[in-house]
Amino acid sequence: MAYRRLVSLLSRRREWAPHFQTPQRVHGKTVCKHPTHHPARNQKLLHTGRPVMTMMKLLSVDELFAKRSLQEHLKKVEKEYNECLQAVTYSATDDECSEDELKEKRTKVSLLAPLIQSIRELDKKQQEITETEMLLKDDDAALRELAELERESCLRDIQDLRQKVLELLIPEEEADMSDLVLEVTAGVGGQEAMLFTAEMFDMYEGFARYHGWSFDVLEHMSSDLGGLRHASASISGSQSYKKMKFEAGVHRVQRVPKTEKQGRTHTSTMTVAVLPQPTEISFTINPKDLRIETTRASGAGGQHVNTTDSAVRIVHLPTGLVAECQQERSQLKNREKAMKSLRAKLYSMKLEEETSKRYNQRKVQIGTKGRSEKIRTYNYAQDRITDHRISMTVHDVRSFLLGEDLLNEMNSSLQEFSNQEALMELLEEGNQAEP
């Protein structure tokens, strides 16, 4: 085996660049570090401080793979895959499995195939690096140099494959591929809370624009000073719910309000609800369960809006949930938007019932449960935003409220913690299932 590695290295000797850059792993991505590299002047300050609440440490890929529970789980998954594959392969001559059981096993084989392929590629790479390390002891200096370069390449491949295995292990959330309905509501703080709510609504519109999603306003109840009492919007686009779900909860702002004459800092709050929007196929509503009312729209909007029965109010009788819309001139369009909002509320209620037991210990993924406690603070005096779930602090409030890079970085970190929690939960369940 070592001889084959030797031949392979010699044949590739001319392919190596004279000055090889050693890559480093930064937040799961491979970057090449060059001695002449200088950080950009406008580099954003991003750090994680001491946790506000007790929570797990974010482990590296290597630390996760060093866990015995993970290795045992991978072996268990591979064994399960082999058993299902064997049952499917010999189904023609074996009458032990029913048609439903065979269908279930075929589905499992299909779902596990990408994970098993990655696990086997990882095993192969680890074998390669073992063989390459044997060549590092060779007397030929040139060969040792080539072996070292090959070793670095194998290490990068192993790191990438490990990351891929972890991603494939984490179970997909049912709603992650859904679109969503966003709701923002002013909390404690009067007019200042309403002004902050308007800024947050604008921030999420910017975040949708940043990702190329559509942002369709469903409700918009303004205050006298230009703030928002309540607003909702339908957001559609690739992974929109997956990236927005961590925004659900109470957001707190600490700043000197425009209405404050003595320069005192006030604390205000607003709440965000992120409701997954189901498809027509996955969720249906019985029309007999609805009471639909039409009224004249209130507020600014012109003669036509205020003199016709264009506003629509839909009540879901079994649950008492209400959805309203008066944004459009057309009663038909308002009805469509109100139905979209109602469907999202009902689906969210159904989803929470199904998953409440599973996620009752989760700290990061708060879903619609997070409205009872603050998840993030926006402090203008210190020019910082702190997410209390992972104790992550970002500086530059104004840039954050644009809904671009900084908000995206915050959401990516929340996703990392959530993924690790899901993985640990999966391994725990596996241990408990063992006899």
**Does 201 share its domain with 131?**
no
Beta bridge partners of 275: 181
Q: Say how many C-beta atoms besides its own lie within 10 A of residue 248's C-beta.
A: 23
Sign of torsion over alpha carbons 374, 260, 207, 50: negative
Kindly state the tokens that stand for 325.
């819309």
Whether 430 is in a domain gets the answer no
Whether 432 is in a domain gets the answer no
Q: Residue 199's pLDDT is what?
A: 96
- Do 199 and 233 form a contact (C-beta atoms < 8 A)? no
Whether 428 is in a domain gets the answer no
Whether 434 is in a domain gets the answer no
**Does 21 share its domain with 150?**
yes
DSSP letter for each residue of 149-174: HHHHHHHHHHHHHHHHHHHHHSPPPT
**Does 257 share its domain with 228?**
yes
Q: What is the CATH number of the domain that holds 250?
A: 3.30.70.1660
Whether 404 is in a domain gets the answer yes
SS3 195: helix
Q: Residue 341's pLDDT is what?
A: 86
**Does 227 share its domain with 254?**
yes
The predicted model scores a pTM of 0.66
H-helix or E-strand containing 315?
strand 311-316
**Does 216 share its domain with 336?**
yes
**Does 292 share its domain with 373?**
yes
**Does 326 share its domain with 351?**
yes
**Whole-angstrom distance, CA of residue 123 vs CA of residue 161:** 10
**Whole-angstrom distance, CA of residue 244 vs CA of residue 167:** 19
Q: Residue 118's pLDDT is what?
A: 94
Q: Residue 1's pLDDT is what?
A: 52
The domain boundary, picked from 137, 169, 201, lies at 169
Which residues lie below 8 Å from residue 70, measured CB to CB, with a gap of 6+? 64, 427
**Does 159 share its domain with 105?**
yes
**Whole-angstrom distance, CA of residue 143 vs CA of residue 148:** 9
Strand positions, DSSP E, 123-258 = 179-186, 214-222, 228-236, 249-255
Q: Residue 52's pLDDT is what?
A: 37
Whether 204 is in a domain gets the answer yes
Which residues lie below 8 Å from residue 388, measured CB to CB, with a gap of 6+? 52, 53, 374, 375, 376, 377
The domain boundary, picked from 169, 202, 223, lies at 169
**Vertex 28 angle, CA 19 and 50, to 5°:** 120
What type of residue is 373? E
**Does 16 share its domain with 135?**
yes
Sign of torsion over alpha carbons 366, 367, 372, 373: positive
Whether 174 is in a domain gets the answer no
**Does 203 share its domain with 158?**
no
Q: Residue 194's pLDDT is what?
A: 94
**Whole-angstrom distance, CA of residue 102 vs CA of residue 93:** 13
The domain boundary, picked from 169, 201, 233, lies at 169
**Does 188 share its domain with 258?**
yes
SS3 337: helix
Q: Residue 349's pLDDT is what?
A: 80
Q: Give the residues of the chain that fall short of pLDDT 50.
A: 2-3, 6-7, 13-55, 281, 300-307, 357-372
Reference 61, options 132, 153, 157, 125; nearest CA is 157
- Do 148 and 122 form a contact (C-beta atoms < 8 A)? no
Q: Residue 357's pLDDT is what?
A: 46
Phi, psi of 227 (to 5 degrees): -90, -165
Whether 346 is in a domain gets the answer yes
Domain membership of residue 164 as a residue range = 2-169
DSSP letter for each residue of 252-284: EEEE--TT-SS---EEEEEEEEEEEE--TTT--
**Whole-angstrom distance, CA of residue 220 vs CA of residue 241:** 21
**Does 160 share its domain with 261?**
no
- Do 395 and 406 form a contact (C-beta atoms < 8 A)? no
- Do 389 and 414 form a contact (C-beta atoms < 8 A)? yes
Q: Say how many C-beta atoms besides its own lie within 10 A of residue 14's C-beta.
A: 6
pLDDT digits (tens, 9 = 90+) for 178-221: 889 899 999 988 899 999 999 999 999 999 999 999 999 988 99
Domain tally, the chain: 2
Rg over CA atoms, the chain: 27
